[in-house]
A = this chain, B = another copy of it.
Amino acid sequence: MSTLRRVSSFLTVLSVFALTLTALAQQNQPQIGIAPVTLNAAPYTFDTAELHKIRVVIVARGLPHPFSLAFLPSGDALVTERGARLRIVRNATGAGGAQPALDPQPVAGIPATPGFRGGGLQEVALHPGFAGNRFVYFTYNKAGAVGANPNQRQSAVTLARGRFDGKALTGVEDLFTGDWSNGASGSRIAFGPNGHVFMTTGAPFGEQAQDSNTVYGKVLRLLDDGKVPADNPFAGKAGVRPEIYSLGHRDQLGLAIHGPSGAVIAAEHGPNGGDEVNVILPGRNYGWPKFTFGRSYEGPRMGDSPVAAGIEPPLVIWIPSIAPTGLTFYTGDRLAAWKGNLFVGSARRGEVPRTGGLERVVMNDKLEELRRETLLTELHQRIRDVRQGPDGLLYVLTDEDDGALLRIEPAP
Residues in B neighbouring A306, C-beta threshold 8 A: 306-307
Given A307-B306, A350-B374, check contact A32 B50 (CB 8 Å): yes
Using Cβ atoms and an 8 Å threshold, which residues of chain B touch A103?
A: none
Residues of B near A370 (CB, < 8 A) are 272, 297-299
A307-B305 Cα distance, complex, nearest whole Å: 8
Check A372/B320 contact, CB under 8 A, given A52-B34, A305-B307, A307-B307: yes
Query: Given A319-B318, A319-B319, A295–B369 Cβ distance below 8 Å?
Result: yes
> Main SS of chain A's interface residues?
loop
Contact of A368 among B295, B337, B373 (CB under 8 A): B295
Could you give, for residues 365-377 of chain A, a 1 whenever the CB lies within 8 Å of some chain B CB and a 0 otherwise?
A: 0101111111001
* Interface status of A351 (Cβ within 8 A of chain B): yes
Chain multiplicity (copies):
2
**Closest B residue by C-beta to A377:** B377
Q: Is A207 positioned at the interface, with any CB of B under 8 Å from its CB?
A: no
Q: Is A239 at the interface (CB under 8 A from chain B)? A: no
Which residues A368-396 have CB closer than 8 A to chain B? 368-374, 377-378, 380
Is A369's CB under 8 angstroms from B34's CB?
A: no
Kindly identify, within residues 4 to 53 of chain A, every residue whose CB is under 8 Å from any CB belonging to chain B.
30-35, 37, 47-50, 52
Distance between A182 CB and nearest chain B CB, rounded to angstroms: 27
- Please give, as numbers and ranges, the residues of chain B lying within 8 Å of A32 by CB-CB distance: 49-50, 371
A95 at interface (Cβ–Cβ under 8 A)? no
Partner of A350, one of B298, B355, B373: B373
B350 touches A273 (CB 8 A): no
Q: Which residues of B contact A188 (CB under 8 A)?
A: none
Q: Note all chain B residues with C-beta closer than 8 A to A355.
A: 49, 373-374
- Cβ of A363 under 8 Å from chain B: yes
Q: A277: shortest Cβ distance to chain B, in Å?
A: 12
Fill in one digit per residue for A283-324: 1 if any B CB lies within 8 Å of its CB, else 0: 000000000010101111100011100000100011110000
Partner of A351, one of B30, B301, B372, B378: B372
The reply to whether the CB of A411 lies closer than 8 angstroms to some CB of chain B is: no
A270 to B66 Cα, complex, angstroms: 37
Considering the complex of A and B, which 7 residue pairs feature the smallest CB-CB distances, nearest first?
A: A299-B368, A350-B372, A351-B371, A34-B47, A49-B352, A32-B49, A320-B372
Q: Can you pick out 20 interface pairs between chain A and chain B where the beta carbons lie within 8 Å of each other? A: A32-B371, A33-B49, A35-B47, A37-B47, A49-B351, A272-B370, A273-B317, A273-B369, A293-B319, A297-B370, A298-B364, A298-B370, A299-B363, A299-B369, A305-B307, A320-B371, A350-B371, A352-B371, A352-B373, A378-B378
